[in-house]
Amino acid sequence: MRFRVRFIGGAAPYEKGVISVALHALDPKALEERLKKSIRTIPDYPQPGILFYDITTLFQDPEAYKLAIDHLVERVRPFRPDVIVGPEARGFVVGGPLAYALGVGFAFVRKPGKLPREVVTAEYEKEYGPDSLAIHRDALLPGQRVVVADDLLATGGTMGATVDLVRKLGGEVVAAAFLIELAHLGGRKFLLEEKKVPEVVTLVRYSGEG
C-alpha cells in the first residue's frame, strides 16, 4: 500500500513515508503509548523472573524511532547544550541523532582500550563487580554545557560514570536524556540526588509491572 504524505518542518524526505502532523503533536501520554507499542517485552530474560524490555524493535520501526528522537530533541533543546555525550553502544544511536538535530558535537564514551588517544576514565559498580568507562581527554572544553544521553535508564550506574567523565574534563552536565526509564530501579533518584544532575528527561516509563 502506498501513502500520500506531507513533509513538515523542513524534514528530509523519507522514501516510505513521513511522520504526520498529528503524530508530531502527540501529548506525552499518547507519545509514550505509541512508543511502547514498538518495544518488545521478553519474559524470563536474561534469567527467570526478569521482564526484559527490548528496545531494538523501536529502532527498527522508522516512525517510532523518528518520533522518539524528534520529541527528545525538543525536550533537550531548552538546556542549550554545546555537546551531547553518549556511552556505548546504544547511547550512540540516541545521542548521535540528538547532536545532529541540535547542531552540536557528539562525544563518545567507551570501554577502556577502545579509544585511540589519551583518555580519562571513571569507575562504577555493576552487579558483578567494578567496571570502567573512558572518554578522550580532548572531547570537551572546560565550561561546555553537556547533555548526557542513552537509550535506557535503569540503576543509573553507566550514566553516573558518564557524568563523572564529563566533570573530570570540566564540562557542565545540564541534563540527562533517555528514551526509556525503568522507574523501579531507582536511576532517576541516583542521578538527581547522588550525581546532582539538574534534570532527567525520559519519554517512556515502566514501573516494573510491564
Give the CATH number of the domain where residue 168 resides: 3.40.50.2020
Catalytic residues: 90, 127
Looking at residue 79, what DSSP letter applies? G
Which residues are CB-neighbours of 132 under 8 A, at least 6 positions away?
Answer: 111, 112, 121, 122, 123, 124, 161
User: 79: buried, middle or exposed (CB in 10 Å: 19+, 13-18, 0-12)?
Assistant: middle
Contact 39, 180 (CB under 8 A): yes
Is 31 within the bounds of a domain? no
Q: Are 159 and 153 in contact (CB under 8 A)?
A: yes
Number of domains forming the structure of the chain = 1
- Note the pLDDT tens digit of each residue in 2-53: 434 333 333 333 344 444 444 556 799 999 999 999 999 999 998 998 889 9
Strand partners, 53: 41
99 located within any domain: yes
Q: Which domain holds residue 113?
A: 80-206
pLDDT in tens, 125-172: 886 678 999 999 999 999 999 999 999 999 999 999 999 999 999 999
Q: How far apart are CA 208 and CA 31, in angstroms?
A: 19
